[in-house]
Amino acid sequence: MILAGDIGGTKCTLTLFEERGAQLTPLHRSSVPTREFSSIAGVLQDFRKQTERAGLSLNGNLKGAAFGIAGAIVGRKAVSSNLPWPVEGEEVEATIGLATGQSLLLNDLVAAALSLEHLQAADLMQLNPGTAESRAPKALIAAGTGLGEAILFWDGTRYRVSPSEASLTDFAPRNDRELLLLQSLRHRLPRVVTEEIVSGRGFRAIHQILFPGVHHAFFDEEGVDPAARITQQAFAGSCTACGETLSIWMEAYGAEAGNMALRVLPFGGVYIAGGIALKILPKLKEGGFVRAFADKAKLSTQLAKIPIFVVLNEDAPVLGAAYEALAVSRAN
């Protein structure tokens, strides 16, 4: 069996897979709020109890494990500002009964990128038409609790994945509204990085800074996700400021995806992943994201021809991590 997970700032999703030939079949899946646990060991111990109640045992049955984690992987440790606790390989292995070196820690965007070759047609929605160039670079970007970006490049045999910390690049305003947003955030932050706007927390920042005359009670409620509430009111049409906030956020997301495309030239395709994309699909389909993506001066025409897909399978990082763990276990 293979254990794989997606360890994020909001939730942790774990799945136990059974190996059947070249395919992995899920046996048990669990998704729990990250902040309900005091450590990664607690999350894993809870999962072990669940599998035991389901008549499954990890003891002696695991061939390997891999986890996509919202942060940079340095050695065998995850460094992240979005997680409430550290993740170290040795602690993971001790908790699930694997020998040292039998687990993999991956950046969550790397894990999601590794899933692309294993996704079904139903797992993808084409947002922008275009023809992918064979063996050309690909790019994946995902906004959620934070912002992640990864690059896929052809090594002569297969696609390999390179992580990045592009979310920490400086935010570049494109218009007067975004300039006002940047100027305001500079007064409260030592440095305004792209992730401050293009992530879940960016919704509240945009709303409060650009629409200061509209205050919602949920801004002051503990445990309430402002991004979710703003999005809900935007789609319901009950708050004009919320609707504008969603549009501004989405266009900033598209612009950042376009910035990544300029750096990578991903004529093999761009993939949009992460939980927020799934929640705002109707808005993405309206075209503002694609227009902001392609609005890049001399290369606008070329970028407009890049196929863009939304990854509909929210467990893509789990799937990518699982198949990477399987490949490593077979190689060893």
Joined together, the tokens standing for residue 120 give 């079904």
Please state the domain extents for the chain: 2-114+315-331, 120-312
pLDDT grade, residue 100 (50/70/90)? confident
pLDDT grade, residue 331 (50/70/90)? confident
Segment 124-159, tens digit of pLDDT: 999 999 889 999 999 999 998 889 899 999 999 999
User: Does pLDDT of 217 surpass 80?
Assistant: yes
Mean pLDDT of 198-215: 95
Cα(325)–Cα(331) distance, integer angstroms: 10
Mean pLDDT of 96-121: 92
Cα(210)–Cα(182) distance, integer angstroms: 11
User: Does pLDDT of 223 surpass 90?
Assistant: no
Cα(38)–Cα(316) distance, integer angstroms: 25
Torsion from C-alpha of 42, 46, 49, 54, nearest 10 degrees: -150
pLDDT grade, residue 196 (50/70/90)? very high
Q: Is the backbone of residue 17 left (phi > 0), alpha (psi -120 to 50) or beta?
A: beta
Joined together, the tokens standing for residue 78 give 């995850």
Joined together, the tokens standing for residue 190 give 């030592």
The sign one gets for the Cα dihedral 211, 214, 217, 218 is negative
Q: Which fold has domain 120-312?
A: Hexokinase; domain 1 (3.40.367)
H/E element, 32: strand 23-33
Of 3.40.50.300, 3.40.50.1100, 3.10.180.10, 3.30.420.40, the CATH number of 2-114+315-331 is: 3.30.420.40
Is there a contact between 28 and 50 (Cβ–Cβ < 8 Å)? yes
Mean pLDDT of 201-227: 92
